[in-house]
Structure 1
Amino acid sequence: MHGAIFLIELGGLILALGLLGRFAGRYGFSPIPLYLLAGLAFGHGGLLPLGASEEFVAQASEIGVVLLLLMLGLEYTAADLVGNLRKQYPAGIVDFVLNALPGAAAALLMGWGPVAAVVLAGVTWISSSGVIAKVLGDLGRVGNRETPVILSVLVFEDLAMAVYLPLLTALLSGLSIAAGSVTLGVALAVAGFVLFAAVRYGRVISRFVSSDDPEKLLLVVLGLTLLVAGIAQQLQVSAAVGAFLVGIALSGEVAEGAHAVLVPLRDLFAAVFFVFFGLNTNPESIPPVIVPALILAVLTAITKIATGYWAAKRARIGEKGRWRAGGALVARGEFSIVIAGLAISSGVEPRLGALATAYVLLLVIIGPLTARYTEPVARRLFGGGETPAAPAEGGAGTDASAAAGSKP
């Protein structure tokens, strides 16, 4: 009987997601907000809570994040990643200043103390790579000239998490400076090793994975990705970073073939990820913190748009691309929830979890909308046509990073 209920729940959930996705496609907007609302309806405190399939959905959601970042990584080479990071590290610093400080200030103003300030700074700082990857695909912008700039900011944030999460864990658990330093050192070493392997031995990895049989290619790529993501997470490095680096390590025909066979899996598990986010949100916990969450969401949406605009302008992207880059970065998601979860389990501040949940829920719904409409709204408000991109050094008429739109 339990097995039958599991199949009924899971089948009904996937059918509902398919119908919601069809509805969103008919009216030309991203289905992500609808997936999240479906999660609220099926979660604890919702209209029809799931029971038998909840554990499966939780595991499938982790695979969804991994596949989203793998597919994003397949679009770019290791050389693209390193080059963009070298160019855009100032944007990463601006991103931290503009978006982490409002969260820290809010926690201090509410009297939650310095540890809670560090936690909320992380919640407001980190954009959702999973949501943004899905939105870029839905809007057909993966090959746009501003997309490498967006990815550079996201990768900078994800790699920064390799420093932030071990540091936060040590802070929350009250570890000594020596113990915290060891945890941080291990995390940095793992992230550096994976990045080095992707850059130095990418061709070898591609030859190892390569296969003319789509079934074998699917199994090898998926297995390798999950293995690397799991090891990375076990060593306190983001699973998303591990999956992304596996993607950039693959190039040429292997990347193209992997992309073709993995698209259906990505779409399925990504939808489940967004539903799971909603499942873990009790609707009753949102109203008491909705006002401060809304204020913080509006403020940091503006600062994220400013971050993307500045980064794209620095990369000599045209006016429209600058606004698109800013709007795409607004969504928060998986990392913010992980950070808030660490704080809740340590008992730092009871209200922090509800505020973080409401904040992320607002921005994960608003994010796909800002990604789509920031540029046309800005054009109406400020007028004018497209500002031509400035010539790149060496006389090229386009930004050098524009070549990173797809793998050779």
Structure 2
Amino acid sequence: MRHTTTLLMELGAIILTLGLLGRLAGRIGFCPIPLYLLAGLAFGHGGIRPLSASESFVATGADIGVTLLLLLLGLEYSASELAASLRAHYPSGAVDFVLNALPGALAALLMGRGAVAAVTLAGVTWVSSSGVIAKVLTDLGRLGDPATPVVLGILVIEDLAMAVYLPVLTALLAGLGLTEGGLALLISLVTVGTVFYVAVRHGRLITRAVSCDNPEMLLLVVLGLTLSVAGVAEELHVSAAVGAFLIGIALSGEVAEGAHRLLCPLRDLFAAVFFVFFGLSTDPADIPPVLGPALLLAAVTTVTKIATGWYAARRAGLGAAGRWRAGGALVARGEFSVVIAGLATGVEPRIGPLATAYVLVLVLLGPLTGRWTEPLARRLTAPPADRGDAPPLRGGVLKRRTG
């Protein structure tokens, strides 16, 4: 009974704090994600007042938060749009890998941390945070912006690439032989390919199967299906986020509209919990010793991510404003980088604090670059007489798809 009482009090305090921070961020026109992270640091291990009773619940809520973020992002796009995006953006995905994985690998080698550490840190610096970016795009009202499909194309390629990367990294960290590592990779590829095929080819059947006029039943079926697929994907060493995203793109029409409307409040709650959990899992005392290298690495890969977005948006035929918006939106790193660092902690313990500091810097910076990269670039590149006349950025909101 005592544990239950403490659990309820801690959860109530967390949710109330999130609400107050969200209101504060709204009043000052600031993205609430950095405030959520700082709150997590304050009340995590080594913080002001560590929370013990609610830690496991918050960890589970964080996993649900990432899953819901990707599900609702997937609901914004149809299967045909996803397939077209992959065909259109795979060259940009290759550029993304070269520009953003290489700095992490070189940093590990220059610090004398070996080949396994290089592969690990390459993954940390390569993959943008789908969760953070989805939240930022939503907060800025950019789900209908022309640059958003470009950003989404890069994120999808990165998430799908994790189905190959994570088994390879796991095999390297465990010292598995060629046979065991190849088998794990084959299982991951077959799983992703199967789910993707079903989503693209048979999405209408899935939509018909879950369709229901009763909102309560629709909520339960869609949420249950999503969590089940995400769990199976995770068990098969494929990202749960990939599974949730593919479920989202498989649904269409009124089912997608209804699911989006019903799940939005749950997404907002559990996404906030995810960002708090990331802060809770970090000991503030581990940050100062690696802050210098982390800041340098963050500065380099901020530039390379903006360059990636610029290149991808230019290939898509967008103008300068759309290119800068795409680049700025991609800067944040998050959930995958944390997972990668966590996998390597036992074998490469020195990577953990560096990766944590790096991710914290870019999770804090990402919402700012998402909002201000394009206005700042426009101001710097405009003729002197026009620099004071540029209108403020307004993210356009278009109607969601209906089929």
Q: TM-score, normalised by structure 1?
A: 0.94
Cross-structure match for 1:169: 170
Q: CA RMSD in A?
A: 1.3
Q: Deviations over 1:177-207 (max 9, x none)?
A: 1110000000000000000000111001001
Give the aligned residue type for 2:70: L
Partner of residue 42, structure 1 = 43
Cα separation, 2, equivalents of 1:407 and 1:30: 29
What residue is the counterpart of 1:301 in the other structure? Answer: 302
> Aligned pair in 2 of structure 1 residues 197, 20: CA closer, same or farther (>3 Å)?
same
CA distance in 1, matches of 2:401, 2:40: 34
Instruction: Give the aligned partner of residue 382 of structure 1.
Output: 381
2:353 is aligned with what amino acid?
A
Task: Verify the 8 A CA contact 2:132 2:332 in the aligned structure 1.
Answer: yes
Work out the CA distance in 2 between the residues paired with 1:146 and 1:162.
25
**Corresponding residue number in structure 2 for 1:197:** 198
Match of 1:372 in 2: 371
1:351 aligns with 2:343: no
Change in 2 beyond 3 A, CA 1:321/1:183:
same
Q: What is residue 362 of structure 2 aligned with on the other side?
A: 363
**Contact 1:304/1:330 (CA < 8 Å) preserved in 2?**
yes
Deviation (angstroms), 1:381? 1.2
Contact persistence 2:302–2:331 (CA under 8 A): yes
Tell me the secondary structure at the aligned position of residue 48 of structure 1: coil
Letter in 1 for 2:285: E
Check whether the contact 1:77–1:407 (CA below 8 A) recurs between aligned residues.
Answer: no
Letter in structure 1 aligned against 2:77: Y
- After the TM superposition, which residues 113-124 of structure 1 pair with which residues of structure 2 at under 5 Å, given as runs? 113-124=114-125
Shift of 1:9: 0.5
Matches of 1:407 and 1:275 in 2, distance apart?
Answer: 34
Structure 1, gaps ≥5 residues long: 386-401
How far residue 406 of structure 1 moved from its aligned partner, in angstroms, is: 3.0
Pairing 1:73-112 to 2, within 5 Å after superposition: 73-112=74-113
After TM superposition, give the deviation of residue 403 of structure 1 in Å. Answer: 10
C-alpha contact (below 8 Å) 1:333/1:360 kept by paired residues: yes
* Contact 1:95–1:307 (8 Å) recurs in 2: yes
Paired residue type of 2:85: N
Give the deviation of 1:404 after TM superposition: 11
Deviations 1:215-254 (A, max 9, x none): 1110000000000000001001000000000000000110
Query: 1:325-340 alignment to 2 at 5 Å?
Result: 325-340=326-341
Q: Structure 1 residue 383: deviation in Å?
A: 1.4
Q: Which residue of 2 aligns with 1:244?
A: 245
**Which runs of 5 or more structure 2 residues have no equivalent in the other structure?**
387-396
State the aligned residue count: 390
The answer to whether residue 104 in structure 2 is matched with residue 66 in structure 1 is no
Does the 8 Å contact 2:329/2:367 carry over to 1?
yes
The answer (yes or no) to whether the contact 1:99–1:121 under 8 Å persists in 2 is: yes
Residues 404, 117 of structure 1: CA spacing in aligned structure 2 closer, same or farther, 3 A cutoff?
A: farther
Classify 1:352/1:61 alpha carbon distance in 2 versus 1 (closer, same or farther; 3 Å).
Answer: same
Whether contact under 8 Å (1:143, 1:406) holds in the other structure is no
* CA distance in structure 2 between the partners assigned to 1:265 and 1:405 by the alignment: 19
SS of the aligned residue for 2:176 comes to: coil
Preserved CA contact (<8 Å) 1:145 1:405: no
Provide the secondary structure at the position in 2 that maps to 1:43: coil
Aligned residue for 1:138? 139
Aligned AA for 2:362?
Answer: L
In the superposition, the TM-score normalised over structure 2's length comes to 0.95
Q: Which runs of 4+ in 1 moved over 6 A?
A: 402-405
Aligned partner of residue 242 in structure 2, secondary structure:
helix
**Equivalent position amino acid for 1:363 in 2:** L
CA deviation digits over 1:255-291, x for unaligned, max 9? 0000000000000000000000000110000000000
Matched residue SS, 1:50: coil
